[in-house]
Amino acid sequence: MNISMENIRPPRMRTIPQAAVQLKADDICVSAYTIRRWVKAGLVPVVHSGNKALINYDKLLEFLTNGEVRA
């Protein structure tokens, strides 16, 4: 089986402030404070890099659409 790297799209990782700015640009008004609360509650998965929490932007959109994130 030959797997091409052309079909693999890297995740769009954002810090919490960057995610809030991106949401606003997409006409979705959610504050960074609200995203932080969702992260602390475990509703939105994150990857920690040093003291920053990185959010997969597509998973955040999934959470906003469905109210949950699939594993």
pTM: 0.81
Neighbours of 44 (CB within 10 A): 23
Residue type, 51: N
Instruction: Give pLDDT tens digits along the chain (71 positions).
Output: 566 667 788 899 999 999 999 999 999 999 999 999 999 999 999 999 999 999 999 999 999 998 877 76
Q: Are the CB atoms for 44 and 64 separated by under 8 Å?
A: no
Pairing of strands 13-15, 46-49: unpaired
Q: Give every CB contact of residue 49 below 8 A, 6+ residues apart in sequence.
A: none
Domains and CATH numbers, the chain: 11-66 (1.10.10)
Please tell me the distance from the alpha carbon of residue 38 to that of residue 44, in angstroms, as a whole number.
6
